[in-house]
Amino acid sequence: MGRPVVFIPDKVPEEAVRYLETVAEVDYRAWEELPGEAKFLQGLERADGLLVYSRHKLKGPVLDRAPRLKGVCNIAVGYDNLDLEELTRRGIAATNTPDVLTETTADLAFGLLLAAARRIPEADHYVKSGQWKGWLPSLMLGKDVHGAVLGIIGYGRIGSAIARRANGFGMKVLYSNLERVPRDEAALGIEYAAMEELLGRSDYVLVQVPLTPSTAGFIGEREFSMMKPDAYFINASRGAVVQEEALVKALAEGRIGGAGLDVFEREPLPPDHPFLSMPRVVTLPHMGSATRQTRAAMAMKAAVNMAAILQGKRPENLLNGQVWKQ
């Protein structure tokens, strides 16, 4: 029997490729831009393993084009791009990359909050475009972050890392989550609050939940109407957890103060999207985990998961445990 083939369509840090070459033949395409579907399907045909970022959707008929597939290793903590049920039915193991991106994503989420509150991108543009003619008393007035109330909706690893940063800024942290986290309540002084209470009390509402059927669109008009009129909404998790139209409306009608968004319902944002002309909205191109160190660690974690699958060992970050029992 020949060596198994691992297909890596995307550009990934080379260490991960070198590592996988010790256990498999690696079909590495290093695509920076997303190629047409035909090229992707071509790679899938002979793949025993697949290493992908979440921009590749492994759902529906595309799986019929991968007859040899034994494992899909996402280079991401989120896995809403995978149809886990269908992968399990086909006996294909799926993995993700938790932990290694927690701190980096928390840095970005907190940076986004600061950028929105203190109008940093807007001010940068103001200076660079030559509009700055002198110091003015009311120039670029923003909103205080220190001492403000931060409400975190969805309190997992990244939520907890954000709370630690907020603590350093002297913020009061509320959190809403399926389960209480007594460890952080004691260590960080955070306070559990029901969603309605959190929305009503927070100066900054930050959502950090995975996208699942139960979180899709779970923040909508009703939730925005409960927020303070000068509160900011921050999202670095997944765009589709928010009803974007409701957010646009709340911002356009001045019912909330502003927003910091790293993720959107449709990525990239269409050129005519209302957010693009809203100065009180800071927009980023889905870059929560985008540092050289973290992307290298994520790719390596995915590669280690893949090597385990190909060697018949249970991978550390297995998402569908049932395939191992089958």
Under 8 Å CB-to-CB from 10, ≥6 apart: which residues? Answer: 29, 30, 31, 32, 51, 52, 53, 55, 56, 75
Q: What are phi and psi of 238, to 5 degrees?
A: -145, 140
Q: First and final CA of the chain: distance in angstroms?
A: 23
Q: How big is the CA angle at 13 (ends 9 and 15), to the nearest 5 degrees?
A: 110
Max Cα-Cα span within the chain = 75
Q: Which of 15, 45, 267, 316 is catalytic?
A: 267
Question: Smallest distance from the beta carbon of 252 to ligand DGY, in angstroms?
Answer: 27
Residue nearest to ligand DGY according to CB distances in the complex? 78
Question: Smallest distance from the beta carbon of 184 to ligand DGY, in angstroms?
Answer: 22
Indicate the residue among 10 and 203 with the shorter CB distance to ligand DGY: 10
Please report, as residue ranges, which positions from 72 to 91 form the binding site for ligand DGY (by CB under 6 A): 76-78
Please return the burial class of 42, using the count of CB atoms within 10 Å of its CB with bins 0-12, 13-18 and 19+: middle
Which two three-digit tokens encode residue 183?
């460890």
Indicate the residue among 96 and 202 with the shorter CB distance to ligand DGY: 96
Distance CA 76, CA 60 (A): 20
Indicate the residue among 202 and 320 with the shorter CB distance to ligand DGY: 320
Question: Smallest distance from the beta carbon of 160 to ligand DGY, in angstroms?
Answer: 16
Q: Does 101 bind ligand DGY (CB under 6 A)?
A: yes
Instruction: Check residue 174 and give left, alpha or beta (phi > 0: left; psi -120 to 50: alpha).
Output: beta
Indicate the residue among 99 and 144 with the shorter CB distance to ligand DGY: 99
Indicate the residue among 23 and 240 with the shorter CB distance to ligand DGY: 240
Among 289, 294, 305, 320, binds ligand DGY (CB under 6 A): 289
Q: Is 286 a catalytic residue?
A: yes
Q: Does 305 bind ligand DGY (CB under 6 A)?
A: no
Question: Smallest distance from the beta carbon of 230 to ligand DGY, in angstroms?
Answer: 29
Question: Smallest distance from the beta carbon of 214 to ligand DGY, in angstroms?
Answer: 18
Q: Does 54 bind ligand DGY (CB under 6 A)?
A: yes
Q: Does 12 bind ligand DGY (CB under 6 A)?
A: no
Contact (CB, 8 A) for 48 and 310: yes
Q: Does 100 bind ligand DGY (CB under 6 A)?
A: no
Q: Does 288 bind ligand DGY (CB under 6 A)?
A: yes
Q: Which of 90, 255, 280, 286 is catalytic?
A: 286
Question: Smallest distance from the beta carbon of 289 to ligand DGY, in angstroms?
Answer: 5
Q: Judged by CB under 6 A, how many residues of this single chain contact ligand DGY?
A: 7
Indicate the residue among 283 and 289 with the shorter CB distance to ligand DGY: 289
Q: Which of 119, 238, 244, 295 is catalytic?
A: 238
Q: Is 238 a catalytic residue?
A: yes
Indicate the residue among 49 and 288 with the shorter CB distance to ligand DGY: 288
Radius of gyration of the chain (CA): 22
Question: Smallest distance from the beta carbon of 239 to ligand DGY, in angstroms?
Answer: 10
Q: Does 215 bind ligand DGY (CB under 6 A)?
A: no
Give me the residues that bind ligand DGY (CB under 6 A), please: 54, 76-78, 101, 288-289
Q: Mind telling me the catalytic residues?
A: 238, 267, 286
